[in-house]
């Protein structure tokens, strides 16, 4: 069974950005520029300003070039390996990662990147377990899903994707009125999208710092943290690498660097099996992961306070 990983943002809202789907889906949409930012960068920034945690970006089999965008934004990058995988497979991959890490999940596609952080505050504060914003009576994105509903969605195997899985939960989608036309606009609606981008509120000076651990050199940071989380939840280094679009050899180099620097074993390796054997974190490895997560969360909060004091 996957392990439940405690996370300092457990009582907050996480975010899932879907840049995946079947072959019919345009792979260029997430990187199409609107104003000065690409669609996916815009979404990552919006969720960061809202302080969603964690933020997960799921890419299709050919979307590995999006990994650098996720890394720069401090987001988790997961990738589908099947080029024919449907959007719902990406939904399940992301929700499986988020279900033990936050109370609510905001789900959107990379094709709808223009809603505001204010809309996210309104949506998450609505008190609904299943909701989406509405402008002019029309439902838009993102969708809000409470953690209580995720197990039912993840177990759904029938047709119809996320909408059908939600129906199975027995709840109807609540509409939360907002004054934000960006909840409806897709990347392809270029004129309207450019107009909203020109008057947006997300372009502002902000701190952008990644917190790492170093001895002689840096040996632990956001990427290594994600690798350890996935190893523990999946029980396999190989599966963790596949979802991060990381080479198997690179992952073991990262783990060796951590262990050689700290002088203790981080992962418990058990040989055998088609997936390369079972691998779990040791007690000290799990303690390291949890300490870094709390340090990173507290550090970011302190940086924001300092930023507000000086800027």
Encode pLDDT of 177-205 as tens digits. 999 999 998 888 877 777 777 666 556 78
Residue pLDDT, tens place only, 162-174 = 999 998 878 889 9
Predicted pLDDT of residue 181? 93
- Counting residues of the chain whose pLDDT is more than 70, the rounded percentage is 89
- The residue ranges of DSSP E strands in 129-230, in sequence order, are 130-135, 138-139, 143-146, 174-177, 213-214, 218-220
Are 148 and 169 in contact by the 8 Å Cβ rule? The answer is no
Structural domains present in the chain: 13-198 (3.90.550.10), 213-310 (1.10.10.10)
Judge residue 175's burial from the number of C-beta atoms within 10 Å of its C-beta, 0-12 exposed, 13-18 middle, 19 or more buried: middle
* pLDDT at 28 exceeding the cut of 70: no
More confident residue, 310 or 200: 310
* pLDDT at 6 exceeding the cut of 60: no
Per-residue DSSP letter, 167: H
Burial of 189-214, coded b for 16+ CB within 10 Å and e otherwise, reads beeebeebbeebebeeeeeeeebbbe
More confident residue, 191 or 212: 212
Average pLDDT across the chain, whole number: 87
> What would the two tokens of residue 305 be?
């306070």
Predicted pLDDT of residue 255? 96
Among 19-28, 104-113, 239-248, where is mean pLDDT lowest?
A: 19-28
Element spanning 284, H or E: helix 283-310
* pLDDT at 146 exceeding the cut of 90: yes
Predicted pLDDT of residue 81? 83
Predicted pLDDT of residue 203? 62
* pLDDT at 277 exceeding the cut of 80: no
> What would the two tokens of residue 108 be?
């959107």
Confidence of residue 8 (pLDDT cuts 50, 70, 90): very low
Separation between Cα atoms, residue 136 and residue 272, nearest integer Å: 58
């Amino acid at each position: 069974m996957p392990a439940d990983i405690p996370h300092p943002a457990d009582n907050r809202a996480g975010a899932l950005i879907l840049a995946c789907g079947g072959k019919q889906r345009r792979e260029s949409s997430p990187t199409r520029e609107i104003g000065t930012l690409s669609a996916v960068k815009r979404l990552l920034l919006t969720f960061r300003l809202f302080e969603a945690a964690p933020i997960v970006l799921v890419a299709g089999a050919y979307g590995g070039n999006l990994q650098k965008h996720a890394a720069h934004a401090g987001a988790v990058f997961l990738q589908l390996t099947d080029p024919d995988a449907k959007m719902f497979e990406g939904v399940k991959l992301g929700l499986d990662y988020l279900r033990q890490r936050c109370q609510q999940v905001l789900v959107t596609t990379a094709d709808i990147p223009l809603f505001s952080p204010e809309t996210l505050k309104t949506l998450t504060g609505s008190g609904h377990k299943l909701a989406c914003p509405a402008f002019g009576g029309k439902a838009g994105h993102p969708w809000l899903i409470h953690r209580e509903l995720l197990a039912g969605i993840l177990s759904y195997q029938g047709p119809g994707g996320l909408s059908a899985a939600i129906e199975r939960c027995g709840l109807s989608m609540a509409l939360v009125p907002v004054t934000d036309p960006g909840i409806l606009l897709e990347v392809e609606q270029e004129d309207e999208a450019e107009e909203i981008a020109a008057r947006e509120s997300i372009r502002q000076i902000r701190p952008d710092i990644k917190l790492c651990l170093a001895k002689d050199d840096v040996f632990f940071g956001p990427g290594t943290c994600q690798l350890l989380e996935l190893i523990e939840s999946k029980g396999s280094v190989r599966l963790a690498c596949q979802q991060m679009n990381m080479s198997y050899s690179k992952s073991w180099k990262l783990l060796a660097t951590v262990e050689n620097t700290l002088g203790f074993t981080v992962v418990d390796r058990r040989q055998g099996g088609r997936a390369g054997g079972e691998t779990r974190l040791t007690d000290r490895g799990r303690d390291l992961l949890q300490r870094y997560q709390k340090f990173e969360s507290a550090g970011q909060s302190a940086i924001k306070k300092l930023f507000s004091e000086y800027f």
